[in-house]
Amino acid sequence: MQILQQLIQGLSLGSIYGLVALGYVLIYQAWGVLNFAQGEVCAIGAFSLLVLHVELGMPVILAMPLAIIVSMIVGYIIEFLSFRPLENAKDMSKLIATIGVSICVRNLLRVIFGADAFAFPSIFGDKPFHVGGLILVPQNLWNTVFGFGLVILLNLFLKKTRVGKSMRATAQDKEAARLMGINVRASLTGTFVIASAIGAIAGMLLAPVYLFNASIGATIGTKGYAAAVLGGLDFASGAMVGGIILGIAECLAVAFGSSAYQSAIAYIVLFLVLILKPSGIMSKKKTVEKV
């Protein structure tokens, strides 16, 4: 029963990691480079919710959409200032730029909120209930629902809508998309903004689970990156698979080992994947472009 309990907990945690990883994958597919500021975008979503809901007393049903909008605006600014000017530059230059943005945002959050940790109230309720021998928490269940629901909605958006199809075409071949009359610039920007919105949701869902401080973006980003690499950067669905595997691995390590192992699991998974299957478990490729 304890193993089943940890699997359920890992599924909840992993679904959030999957959302963070999904942001990495979307930007990588569109721009061909990883955005290492994605974790900070998640943190901005969480801290925006803190200000709007906890400090200002705004109802969560209003605070969450506004927090998402704030993160989307920040994502647009990051794209406009760091990605767009370097669009034709080498991938390494773009990568360094995202690391620089990550450091700047992290320190800005530290200036605004200080170095103290914040305990976020549960969004969906934290009073546990029993089902058989299992102890279930509403927050964890809703995290799982939101995680899988967003992946399904995103897939429908990308495959069924005109805007989504334009974004997919741009990700596959920018020049061909441009010749077909697709606004490549708008598609690239739209991808970044959507990835930022997903990151904000992940940050808000993760906030009641973690003690948040100004440096939490680095932790979230590492776990999301590990999940993205594990699932494969070429597959959006692989992001969720990688996130779930990582979440379950962390919960099992804590339950049968020590809580000190939780932080190390992401690095261990990342190391093993890069050695054994660098293109990800969902990919059939033997190699992957290194950036």
Candidates 63, 179, 206; CA nearest to 122 is 206
Q: Three-state DSSP class for 123?
A: coil
Q: What is the pLDDT along the chain (291 residues), one digit of tens a residue?
A: 678 888 888 899 999 999 999 999 999 988 888 899 999 999 999 999 999 998 898 998 999 999 999 999 999 999 998 888 887 778 788 888 999 999 999 999 999 988 888 878 788 777 777 777 777 888 888 889 988 999 899 888 988 898 889 988 988 888 898 888 889 889 999 999 999 999 999 999 988 887 788 888 888 999 999 999 998 888 778 889 999 999 999 888 888 777 777 778 888 888 888 888 888 887 765 544 444
pLDDT at position 1 = 67
pLDDT at position 74 = 94
Residue range 130-146, pLDDT digits in tens: 777 777 888 888 889 98
pLDDT at position 285 = 58
Q: Three-state DSSP class for 130?
A: strand
Buried b / exposed e across 169-185, counting CB within 10 Å, b at 16+? Answer: bbbeebeebeeeebebe
Residue 140, token pair as written in the block: 């964890």
DSSP 33: S
Residue 75, token pair as written in the block: 């994502």
Residue 284: exposed, middle, or buried by beta-carbon count in 10 A (0-12, 13-18, 19+)?
exposed
pLDDT at position 228 = 92
Q: Do residues 17 and 206 touch, judged by C-beta distance below 8 A?
A: no
Residue range 182-226, pLDDT digits in tens: 898 899 999 999 999 999 999 999 888 877 888 888 889 999 999
Distance CA 188, CA 200 (A): 19
* This model's pTM is above 0.85: yes
Residue 244, token pair as written in the block: 């779930």
pLDDT at position 5 = 82
Q: Write out the E strands in the chain.
A: 129-131, 134-136
Distance CA 149, CA 15 (A): 10
N-terminal to C-terminal alpha carbon distance within the chain:
43
With residues binned 3-state (H G I as helix, E B as strand, rest as coil), the percentages for the chain, rounded to 5, are: 75, 5, 25
pLDDT at position 287 = 47
Distance CA 239, CA 253 (A): 21
pLDDT at position 198 = 95
| β-bridge mates for residue 130, sequence order | 135
Q: Do residues 78 and 200 touch, judged by C-beta distance below 8 A?
A: no
Dihedral (CA of 253, 212, 191, 65) sign: positive
pLDDT at position 256 = 79
Q: Do residues 217 and 39 touch, judged by C-beta distance below 8 A?
A: yes
Number of other CB atoms surrounding residue 217 within 10 Å: 27
